[in-house]
Amino acid sequence: GDSVTQMEGPVTLSEEAFLTINCTYTATGYPSLFWYVQYPGEGLQLLLKATKADDKGSNKGFEATYRKETTSFHLEKGSVQVSDSAVYFCALLHQGGSEKLVFGKGTKLTVNP
C-alpha cells in the first residue's frame, strides 16, 4: 500500500539556519504531494503542494520539489525563524481515486533564538 517516510526528528535549529526535512513516498501511479504544518494546540494547515513530477510547491519561504525519479518531496527553507517551530507532515493523495491523505509520522522542528 501507499506510504510516506519522513525523518522523525526532533530537529533543533538556530534562527536563520537552513532547514531540510526529508520525505520519500511509495505509491502506484502519480500521487499529489503535500506538506502540512501543525502548530501547538491546532489542526493542520496546508503549507504547500505539488501535483505532478518536477512541480515545485512554495509558500512562506518554504519549498519542495516533486522528484518522481527518487520518489521524494523534501521540504527546505533557507532561513528559519522562531515562529516556524511546529510539527511538519508530508502527505500524499491519489488523484481521481481514494480521497485519503496518507501522512508521514511528522517531524517536530524547534527553532531557538
Partner 1 sequence: KAGVTQTPRYLIKTRGQQVTLSCSPISGHRSVSWYQQTPGQGLQFLFEYFSETQRNKGNFPGRFSGRQFSNSRSEMNVSTLELGDSALYLCASSLAGGVYGYTFGSGTRLTVV
Footprint of partner 1 on 75-94 (CB under 8 A): 89, 93
Footprint of partner 1 on 18-47 (CB under 8 A): 32, 34, 36, 41-46
Closer CB to partner 1, 106 or 111, in the complex: 106
Query: In the chain, what is the greatest distance between 2 CA atoms, to the nearest angstrom?
Result: 44
Should residue 102 be labelled a site residue for partner 1 when binding is judged by CB under 8 A? Answer: yes
Closer CB to partner 1, 19 or 93, in the complex: 93
Dihedral of CA 86/10/102/23: which sign?
Answer: positive
d(C-alpha 24, C-alpha 70), whole Å: 8
The one among 49, 77, 80, 107 contacting partner 1 by CB under 8 A: 49
Rounded to 5°, angle at Cα 106 from 57 and 101 = 65
Dihedral of CA 61/85/55/67: which sign?
Answer: positive
Q: Residues in the site for partner 1, rule: CB under 8 A?
A: 32, 34, 36, 41-46, 49, 51, 89, 93, 95, 98-106
